[in-house]
Chains A and B, each alone.
Chain A
Amino acid sequence: MLAMVRRKWTYLVIGALLAFLILIPFDWSLGQYTVLMIFIGIHTMITVGLCLLLGYTGQVSLGQAAFYGTGAYFSAVLSKTYGVDPWLAMLIAAAATGAFAYVIGYPIFRLRGNYLAMATLGLGMIIYILFNQLAQFTGGPEGMSGIPYLSIGGFVFDNSFKRYFLVWFFCLAVLLISQNIVRSRTGRALRAIHGSEAAAESIGINVTQFKVKIFVLSAVYASLAGSLFVHHLTFISPQPFGFLASLMIVVMAVIGGLASIWGAIFGAATIRILSDELLLTFGEWDVIIYGLMLMLVMIFMPEGLFVRLKEVFERLRLRYQQRGTET
């Protein structure tokens, strides 16, 4: 009974979210936020990957921006320089990034905890340097422009209004797929690995294989996000794929709640709104605010700001329902 009521509320909340998402670009007062919402969608996709990896499986990665970058650069270089169809380029980018994550995953997951964090940090830095140095392909620090838009048949995603729906279609698909994975045999295996690796092995879970698989999945999410990103901006430079970007993804995941799929939207939205709208006056100093937020959330609500807000909401709702049955 309680489960049914809860499910009804879940559908209600998701329905409201969908309605909100659909209305944004049409509403004249909110329409100016369409571009912001595109970036929120893109960052949500990367954040969900990190939630699966860090929040559910307990494996830290400080190099997610590297996969975001490889996806973006594969898409950019293939579609611009080699004239590959953007969709095919996106697919190749995701496959290549996934394969790269798979190859790097086996040695990297010999490591645990802080050592894993350092290794992924290093991975992110190496990739970032490659983006800068392989100038004959990537255009170096100046980047490259004139990357084509995505299109279906004759329909070209040539303005933000159209791309908004494209990005959120991908984003919601990624969220849905992730939620399904979490609530499955695979999701239990991932959480088991987080709980105790020795115990997970003892009940037949191939710990290394699952870690690598979820690492690959998170890399593919980031790669897709990167492809959408370049076909939105039609310009690419190494700057958005550096260490700071990896760190921001961690902050987004933490604020949304590490073990919360839908919280990723909240985390990505909070940080994007802060960085694009509210903290512009701070200039370079905004990094301090993010650091402070990360610290405060980790100390006072390690389960995440979004999860905490959800609990408060749940409690209020229960009180409201009890009052309803009493009278």
Chain B
Amino acid sequence: MSESILETSGLSKAFGGLVALDRVDLAIEAGKIIAIIGPNGAGKTTLFNVITGVYAPTEGEVIFRGRPLSKTMSTSLVRSVPWFGGLSSSLLGTLLFFAQLNTPHHRARLGIARTFQNILLFGNMTVLENVMSGQHPRSHYGFLEAALRLPKAHREEESISLNAMKYLNLVGLGAHAEQNALSLPLGQQKLLAIARALATEPQLLLLDEPGAGLNTLEKQELSDLIRRIREMGITVLLVEHDMPLVMGLAEWVIVLDSGQKIAEGTAAQIQRDQRVISAYLGEEVE
């Protein structure tokens, strides 16, 4: 097995008494398309949220390209501390600054991008602007350069819009660049969300139910697109309920049930796995 881009060890996440993830060990191989499946409430989206830093894990850690990301719960601890006015708040601000390793925006900078089940496009922007905003972590000019229109801002703005157009064409939405993002039909909105995530130039792309709500033709196009993304050297990790889509696309399948990893293997192996079948159909394991 080749080098893994993402690993989790003993990853747990509990919401009060509810254990959403229970000591999950994963090793995601670089350059592959990997699917995570499981019945509703199995913890798939929670896993995404822990990987992207939305939640801090209760236990265990996420290791991205050999670098541990969320060893501690510092972010959530700092967030839960009540504030007592000016001085302590600026102190909190400073602490938060150092704890940023665990926030989603920092993960995006490191090279982990994602899409959402409910898409979450920016409805107050055009299609192109949505993708341009995805270039945020790969551009640098700030308030001052923007305010004074310094040459650096001009140069970066040009490359941002060129790159954005490139990603837009990749998903086949180049012709709709100037439209409002929410004027697109659902299928194209999903493609746009993928383009926006790609614009952050990630090494690992997490897709949360990319096929939901798409028709057969759109699913076919989605599969082709995901393969093309893999060709670009980006590892794709997807959560999906559509079994034909998963089985046709994924090179490795991980099965979660009630927060635990119950099986993993190739699509063919998973289809024969007795524990997977019982998890889905509710049979007793002999």
A residues bordering B, Cβ < 8 Å? 102-104, 106-107, 110, 177, 180-181, 184-189, 191-192, 194-196, 198-208, 212-213, 217, 259
The contact string, 1 if C-beta is below 8 Å from chain A, for chain B 146-167, is 1111000100110010000000
List the A residue with the shortest CB-CB distance to B103. Answer: A201
B199 sits at the interface (CB 8 A): yes
Give CA–CA (A207, B200) in the complex, Å: 16
Contact indicator B146/A202 (Cβ below 8 Å): no
Give CA–CA (A107, B109) in the complex, Å: 25
List the B residue with the shortest CB-CB distance to A195. Answer: B122
Closest CB in chain A relative to B95 CB, distance in Å: 10
A-B contact pairs, 26 of them (CB 8 A): A103-B87, A104-B86, A107-B83, A184-B153, A185-B139, A185-B156, A187-B146, A188-B129, A188-B136, A191-B133, A192-B125, A192-B136, A196-B120, A198-B120, A201-B54, A201-B104, A201-B105, A202-B104, A202-B108, A203-B133, A203-B199, A204-B106, A204-B108, A206-B100, A213-B143, A259-B124
Contact indicator A204/B122 (Cβ below 8 Å): no
Contact indicator A181/B147 (Cβ below 8 Å): yes
List the A residue with the shortest CB-CB distance to B199. Answer: A203
Q: Which residues of A contact B134 (CB under 8 A)?
A: 203
Q: Which residues of A contact B23 (CB under 8 A)?
A: none
Q: Which residues of A contact B114 (CB under 8 A)?
A: 202
Which of A103, A177, A196, A201 is B147 in contact with, Cβ under 8 Å?
A177
B220 sits at the interface (CB 8 A): no
The contact string, 1 if C-beta is below 8 Å from chain A, for chain B 190-206, is 00000011011000000
Contact indicator B105/A204 (Cβ below 8 Å): yes
Contact indicator A184/B90 (Cβ below 8 Å): no
Which of A103, A196, A207, A212 is B122 in contact with, Cβ under 8 Å?
A196
Give CA–CA (A56, B143) in the complex, Å: 15
Closest CB in chain B relative to A114 CB, distance in Å: 19
Q: Which 8 A-B pairs have the closest CB atoms?
A: A204-B137, A195-B122, A204-B108, A184-B146, A201-B104, A199-B120, A106-B93, A107-B89
Give CA–CA (A91, B79) in the complex, Å: 34
**Interface secondary structure of B, over-half rule:** helix
List the A residue with the shortest CB-CB distance to B85. Answer: A107
Q: Which residues of A contact B123 (CB under 8 A)?
A: 195
Given A195-B121, A208-B96, A181-B143 contact (CB < 8 Å) = yes
The contact string, 1 if C-beta is below 8 Å from chain A, for chain B 70-101, is 00000000010001011101101100100010
Given A201-B105, A203-B197, A186-B122 contact (CB < 8 Å) = no
Contact indicator A186/B146 (Cβ below 8 Å): yes
Which of A107, A181, A204, A213 is B136 in contact with, Cβ under 8 Å?
A204
Contact indicator A203/B137 (Cβ below 8 Å): yes
Contact indicator A191/B90 (Cβ below 8 Å): no
Q: Which residues of A contact B100 (CB under 8 A)?
A: 206
Which of A104, A187, A194, A206 is B89 in contact with, Cβ under 8 Å?
A104
Contact indicator B143/A191 (Cβ below 8 Å): no
Given contacts A107-B85, A177-B148, A195-B120, 15 further A-B contacts (CB under 8 A): A104-B86, A106-B96, A180-B146, A181-B146, A192-B122, A195-B121, A195-B124, A195-B125, A198-B104, A198-B120, A199-B116, A200-B133, A202-B197, A203-B134, A203-B199
Q: Which residues of B contact A199 (CB under 8 A)?
A: 116, 120-122, 196
Most buried by A among B93, B121, B141, B160: B93
Give CA–CA (A233, B125) in the complex, Å: 42
Contact indicator B142/A106 (Cβ below 8 Å): no
Contact indicator B157/A103 (Cβ below 8 Å): no
Give CA–CA (A205, B129) in the complex, Å: 14
Q: Which residues of B contact A106 (CB under 8 A)?
A: 89-90, 92-93, 96
Contact indicator B105/A186 (Cβ below 8 Å): no
Closest CB in chain B relative to A108 CB, distance in Å: 9
List the B residue with the shortest CB-CB distance to A177. Answer: B147
List the A residue with the shortest CB-CB distance to B100. Answer: A206
Q: Which residues of A contact B129 (CB under 8 A)?
A: 188, 191
Contact indicator B52/A202 (Cβ below 8 Å): yes
Q: Which residues of B contact A181 (CB under 8 A)?
A: 143, 146-147
List the A residue with the shortest CB-CB distance to B79. Answer: A110
Most buried by A among B105, B133, B136: B133
Contact indicator B116/A184 (Cβ below 8 Å): no
Q: Which residues of A contact B105 (CB under 8 A)?
A: 200-207
B237 sits at the interface (CB 8 A): no
B207 sits at the interface (CB 8 A): no
Contact indicator A185/B108 (Cβ below 8 Å): no
